[in-house]
Chains A and B, each alone.
Chain A
Amino acid sequence: MSMLEVDSLKRSFGGLVAVRNVSFEVNEGDFLGLIGPNGAGKTTLFNVISGVLRPSAGTIRFLNRNISGQPANQTVRQGLSRTFQAATLYPEATVIENVARGTLGASLTGLSSGFLSRKWRVNAEEKAYHVLDLFGLRRRADLKARELSYGEQRRLGVAIALASEPKLLMLDEPVAGLNPEEAAELASVLRRVKSERGVTMVMVEHHMRTVMGLCNRVVVLDHGTLIADGTPAEVVSNPLVIEAYLGKEAVDA
C-alpha cells in the first residue's frame, strides 16, 4: 500500500527550478534510497515533503491525506519525521533529555497538562530509554549531547527523530562524515530500527555502499528531474544514471 505519494512536485527559488515535476511513491515497508549528483535537488525535495518549504506546484499525500504546504510540526504529528544533514540536536541538554524532548510532540494532548503531576516525564524518559537502547546510547544518557563523539551525535540525531514515533522516517545523509566503522554501525542500527519498529524509511545518501546495502528501491534525481526508479541493481545499470554521474562519454564507451 502506498504511504507517501508525491505527484508532479515542483519547487523553484526565483528563476532557479530546484525540483521539476517529480512524482514517485513510497510503499509501506519500503527502504527507499534517494540519490543523485550534488545539486540535484534532493535536500530541497526533502524540505518540501517535510513541510520546511512550501511546494511551488504539485501535491504530496501522506496516508491518503494532502499534506502539501502544511507546517512541519503538523506533518510530524501525523507520523512523518525527518533528520537533518548536520548533527542537529540540543547540545547543552543531556542525551536522555534530547530524546525525551523528541517524544513530546507526538505524545501530548494539550499544553496545559503536566503542571502538577510528574507522570509525563516518567513516561517520556521511559520511551526515550527504549530508543537509546536501540541506538546503543543508553550508557551515554547522562552526558551532555555536545560531549558525545561525532558518530554518536549523528546516531542521537536519528534517535530524536525516532522518538516522535513516526510511521515514515526521512533521513538526510545519515552517514555523511562518518568513518567506515561508524557508517556500518549506523547502517546496522537503521536495519534494526526498521525490523523492530516497522518504520518505513526514505534516505538521501551519497554513500553508495550504504544505499545498496539497505535500500530495496532507489530513485535517482538529476537537475531536479526524476530519471530512474527501481531496484538498486536496475538503477546502477541504467544508462541515464551512469550519464548523470559520469557524463555522456562514459555511456558511449
Chain B
Amino acid sequence: MNPSTTKPMSYAAVAVAVILAVLLPWFAPNQFYIHLATVGCINLMLVLGLAIIARAGQLSMGHGGFALVGGYVSALLSMKGWPPLLTLFIAGLTAAVIAAALGWIILRLRGVYFVLVAFAFSQIAVLLALDMSSITGGANGLVGVPPISIFGYVLRAKPQFYPFALVCALATLLLTWLLYRSPLGTMMAATAENQRLTESSGIDTHRVQVIAFTIGSGIAGFAGALSTHYLRFISPDSYTFWESVSYLTMLVVGGRDGVLGPVVGVLVLTPLPELLRSTEGLQHIIYGTMLVLCLMFVPNGLASLVQTWRSRQRVARTTTAVVAEEVT
C-alpha cells in the first residue's frame, strides 16, 4: 500500500473496522465467536511477522518454530513466578535474538537454501521440546500456564482476553504500517524487488534482510507466547510445520504487499474451516479448491483487488495529465 495515495476514505474504513472489532463481544451470539476473533488476532500478528520477512524478499518456513520458542520461554518463566506481562516481551526478545544470530549466518544463503534452513530450525525446535522432557514436559507439554494479569486484573475468560489480544494485534499492525513507510521499509521493498540494484545504491541488503527476519521472528515469538497464555497450555504440537504453512497460506491468499493483505488473509482463512465444518468430510476439499482458485485468479492476493482499482485510477489521472500537457 502506497501511503501517499491513502485517502481520507481509507482512514474512515480503518476507523469503522477498528470500531467493529472493539464492539464484537457485544453482538457476538456466543463465546465461540469471541474465541475465533482472539485466534484471528494472534494469527494476524504471526502473519504480519511473516509479511515483514517477505517484504525484504525472504520466505520463512520456520515461522512456527519462533512462535514455539516464544511460547515455551513465556510459559516456563511465568510458571516460575515471573509476571506474564513481562515474559511475553522476553519471549519476543528471545525469538528475535535467535533470529538475528541464525539470520546472520543463513541469510547469506539465497532462495531455496534459506527456506530449507528455516524449515530445519522449526523442526529442531519441535524435537528439542519433545526431548528435553525434564524442562518442557515432553510430548505432554506444559499444562496450567498462568493467565496474564494486568495490575491485578486477571485475563482468564474469553471476553476478558479478547480486548488484550486486539490491542496487541492493532499495535503490531500500526508498527508494521510505520515500518513500511520508513526508510528501512523502503529499503526492504527495494531489496526484495532487485537486490543487486539496491546493493549498488549503497544499501547493505544483507543487513536489511537480517533486520527484517529479526523483527518478523520476534513478533512470532510474542504472538506464540500470547497464544500460550490464552490457551494456558503449550506442547510440541502447538506450532508444527503445518502452522508455518497455514500462516504462509494466509499471507499468499490475502496478499503480500502492504498491511491490508495479512488482515484480509486472516479474516478469510481463520473462520473458514469452522464455516466448512457443517459440510462434513468435504471441508478439506473445499478449502483446497478455494486456495487453488485464489492462486489462479488473484495471484497477488485478495487485497490486490483494491490496489488494482487504485492504480487504474492513478494511470487514468497520469494519462489525462500527459495528454493535456501534450495538447497545449
- B205 interface neighbour in A73, A116, A143, Cβ under 8 Å: A73
How many residues of chain A get a CB closer than 8 Å to chain B's CBs?
A: 40
**A112 CB within 8 Å of chain B:** yes
Q: What is the interface of chain A, defined by CB distance below 8 A to chain B?
A: 50, 52, 71-74, 76-77, 81-82, 84, 88-93, 100-102, 104-106, 108, 111-116, 118, 120-121, 139, 142-143, 160-161, 163-164
User: Which secondary structure dominates chain B's binding surface?
Assistant: helix
Asked, given contacts A101-B186, A143-B318, whether A84 binds B204 with beta carbons under 8 Å apart, the answer is: no
Q: What is the interface of chain B, defined by CB distance below 8 A to chain A?
A: 178-179, 181-184, 186-187, 189-190, 193-194, 196-205, 207-208, 211, 314-315, 317-318, 322, 325
Q: Which residues of A contact B178 (CB under 8 A)?
A: 115-116
Instruction: Give the docked Cα–Cα distance between A122 and B74 (Å).
Output: 42
Asked, given contacts A73-B199, A160-B201, whether A139 binds B325 with beta carbons under 8 Å apart, the answer is: yes
Q: Please tell me if the beta carbons of B186 and A104 are within 8 angstroms of each other in the complex.
A: yes
Q: How far is the CB of A115 from chain B (nearest CB, A)?
A: 5
Asked, given contacts A114-B182, A114-B183, A115-B178, whether A81 binds B200 with beta carbons under 8 Å apart, the answer is: yes
- B203 interface neighbour in A73, A81, A112, Cβ under 8 Å: A73
- A90 interface neighbour in B181, B193, B207, Cβ under 8 Å: B193
Instruction: Give the docked Cα–Cα distance between A72 and B317 (Å).
Output: 39
Q: How far is the CB of B214 from chain A (nearest CB, A)?
A: 12
Q: Which residues of B contact A93 (CB under 8 A)?
A: 189-190, 193
- B183 interface neighbour in A52, A91, A113, A142, Cβ under 8 Å: A113
Instruction: Give the docked Cα–Cα distance between A174 and B300 (Å).
Output: 34
Closest to A139 in B: B322
Q: Please tell me if the beta carbons of B200 and A142 are within 8 angstroms of each other in the complex.
A: no
Instruction: Give the docked Cα–Cα distance between A120 and B190 (Å).
Output: 16
Q: Please tell me if the beta carbons of B193 and A108 are within 8 angstroms of each other in the complex.
A: no
Q: Please tell me if the beta carbons of B201 and A163 are within 8 angstroms of each other in the complex.
A: yes
Instruction: Give the docked Cα–Cα distance between A105 and B204 (Å).
Output: 8
